[in-house]
């Protein structure tokens, strides 16, 4: 099943348009491999020649050797994400088996399939972010809980805790809220394990602080992450970025259709098993996940759509644990639940639904080949180029320097603004108004269908039109 999932995901979604955060996360590793140092031209306040500190660095550090072996490209980034997801699912399988939570292989298979068929798994696979790595570390921590040797168990949890601040601040927050929940529900049973995880997290955080302090960019790190966290005291006007922490954005992870469906099914199953005292702790943990994880992550920052996996996975484990224990006691209810679980795989927004509506049409369109040819004709080796995110992978190896995305927020003040010689972006972009000099369109343009929209009301919707502008008075 994992091989089928990986093959379909890599074969189909490899041609899908580059997602918004993909270049920002990938750029430091790409720049390093291309001989430009650990730098990025896609973030708020950092210049292209500064040591990158706009987010936590583990994903980028792992991408560097990966690119050296498998090459640079969107497909390469997606491949490592799929590897993380596949290994994480193996650890989930082994963890619920070793712990005795789900004894039946059929229900374990259903658990993995339910997660992989969700919109969360698709977001992990194509976003190009560090959540797949965070998911892998979280699953490794869950597996470590099942180790018989207490020293191996504590050591494994401490190692996962140390990696968490480097992999993603959201993972460190997730470990904090789930650790508190475990102590509350299971009391002293897992207290030492939670302390080991917390101790590792403290050491990892100190190591991250010292790393960025040594590089002289700790202040830049704090400023860059502040718009996305609850650290409002350090959010300064120098970022040029508005505070994104409105409640609609904060709770975006609850907009995932499969997360909402899992909450509904879990609530039903918990209510049906409430009279069984043996299930009370699992029910309490399920309710704690539903309330605690979104509330905690949203309270300290945001619970965005790509954080939905942090709620869906533990909720699914609890759901399938309760179903597997009571499958024979109420056959009719079990059959209804199986039908509802199967329904989730084809609901609007789910993996299979988006595969049919977005993935396959994008694959058949040949957009990627047209984008590569267009960028090769538009960008020269001596150019400092600003490009739309959808063109970034094609442009990055070609141009002398490549700027994109969040760099636009400080285009008025960046020292690179005078160096920009070509802009390739959507026709309605306002960037040219922020740049010095005289700009003219070259006459080159590319129109590609927009497959990013979830709901295509009409096949006659206007395509995305990318236009090339060159500075005609270069100093």
DSSP class of 305 = G
Residues 149 and 278 in one domain: yes
- Mean pLDDT across the stretch 394-418? 90
Residues 84 and 215 in one domain: yes
Cβ count within 10 A of residue 131: 29
Instruction: Give the dihedral sign, CA 198/201/202/203.
Output: positive
Residues 329 and 406 in one domain: no
- Mean pLDDT across the stretch 396-411? 90
- Mean pLDDT across the stretch 256-264? 89
Residue 199 banded pLDDT, cuts 50, 70, 90: very high
326 three-state secondary structure: coil
Give residue 232's pLDDT: 43
Tabulate helix, strand, coil % of the chain (nearest 5).
Answer: 65, 5, 30
For residue 329, what are the contacts with CB-CB under 8 A and spacing of at least 6? none
Domain limit, last residue, from 358, 391, 418: 358
Residues 203 and 348 in one domain: yes
Domain limit, last residue, from 303, 330, 358: 358
Residue 207 banded pLDDT, cuts 50, 70, 90: very high
Residues 194 and 265 in one domain: yes
pTM: 0.92
Residue 233 banded pLDDT, cuts 50, 70, 90: very low
CA angle, residues 356, 353, 289, in degrees to nearest 5: 150
H or E element in which residue 442 lies: strand 439-448
Over residues 387-400, the pLDDT tens digits come to 999 999 999 999 99
DSSP class of 463 = P
Give the residue, 111 or 1, on which the prediction is more confident. 111
Task: State the chain's mean pLDDT as an integer.
Answer: 87
Domain limit, last residue, from 336, 358, 380: 358
Give the least confident one: 141-150, 187-196, 411-420, 444-453. 444-453
Residues 165 and 251 in one domain: yes
Residues composing the chain: 475
Give residue 98's pLDDT: 94
Question: Looking at the predicted structure, is the pLDDT value of residue 252 above 90?
Answer: no
Domain count along the chain: 2
Residue 272 banded pLDDT, cuts 50, 70, 90: confident
Residues 386 and 340 in one domain: no
Residues 322 and 373 in one domain: no
Question: Looking at the predicted structure, is the pLDDT value of residue 235 above 70?
Answer: no
Q: For residue 416, what are the domain limits?
A: 366-471
């Amino acid at each position: 099943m994992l091989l089928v999932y990986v093959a379909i995901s890599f074969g189909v979604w490899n041609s899908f348009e580059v997602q918004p955060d993909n270049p920002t996360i990938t750029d430091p590793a790409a720049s390093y491999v291309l001989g430009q140092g650990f730098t990025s031209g896609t973030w708020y306040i950092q210049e292209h020649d500064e040591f990158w500190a706009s987010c936590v660095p583990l994903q980028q550090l792992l991408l560097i050797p990966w690119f050296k072996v498998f090459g640079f490209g969107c497909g390469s980034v997606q491949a490592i994400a799929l590897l993380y997801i596949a290994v994480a699912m193996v650890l989930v399988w082994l963890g619920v088996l070793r712990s005795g939570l789900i004894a039946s292989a059929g229900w374990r298979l259903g658990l993995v399939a339910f997660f992989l068929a969700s919109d969360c798994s698709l977001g992990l696979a194509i976003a190009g972010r560090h959540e797949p790595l965070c998911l892998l570390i979280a699953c490794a921590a869950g597996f470590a809980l099942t180790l018989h040797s207490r020293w191996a168990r504590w050591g494994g949890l401490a190692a996962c805790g140390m990696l968490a601040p480097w992999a993603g601040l959201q993972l460190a927050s997730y470990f904090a809220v789930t650790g508190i929940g475990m102590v509350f529900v299971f009391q002293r049973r897992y207290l030492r394990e939670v302390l080991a995880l917390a101790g590792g997290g403290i050491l990892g955080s100190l190591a991250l602080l010292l790393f960025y302090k040594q590089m002289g960019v700790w202040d830049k790190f704090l400023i860059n992450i502040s718009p996305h966290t609850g650290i409002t005291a350090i959010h300064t006007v120098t970022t040029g970025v508005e505070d994104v922490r409105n409640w609609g954005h904060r709770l975006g992870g609850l907009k995932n259709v499969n997360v909402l469906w899992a909450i509904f099914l879990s609530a039903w199953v918990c209510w049906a098993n409430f009279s069984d005292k043996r299930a009370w702790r699992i029910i309490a943990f399920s309710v704690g996940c539903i309330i605690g994880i979104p509330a905690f992550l949203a309270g300290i920052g945001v619970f965005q759509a790509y954080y939905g996996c942090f709620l869906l996975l533990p909720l699914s484990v609890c759901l399938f644990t309760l179903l597997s224990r009571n499958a024979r006691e109420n056959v009719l209810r079990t059959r209804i639940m199986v039908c509802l679980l199967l329904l989730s795989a084809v609901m609007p927004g789910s993996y299979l639904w988006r595969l049919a509506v977005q993935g396959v049409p994008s694959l058949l369109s040949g957009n990627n080949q047209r984008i590569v040819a267009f960028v090769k004709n538009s960008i020269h080796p001596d150019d400092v180029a600003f490009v739309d995110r959808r063109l970034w992978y094609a442009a990055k190896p070609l141009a002398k320097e490549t700027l994109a995305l969040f760099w636009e927020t400080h285009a008025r003040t960046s020292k690179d603004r005078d160096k920009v010689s070509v802009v390739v972006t959507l026709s309605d972009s306002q960037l040219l108004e922020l740049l010095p000099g005289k700009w003219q369109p070259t006459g080159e343009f590319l129109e590609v269908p927009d497959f990013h929209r979830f709901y295509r009301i009409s096949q006659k919707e206007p395509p995305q039109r990318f236009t090339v502008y060159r500075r005609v008075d270069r100093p």
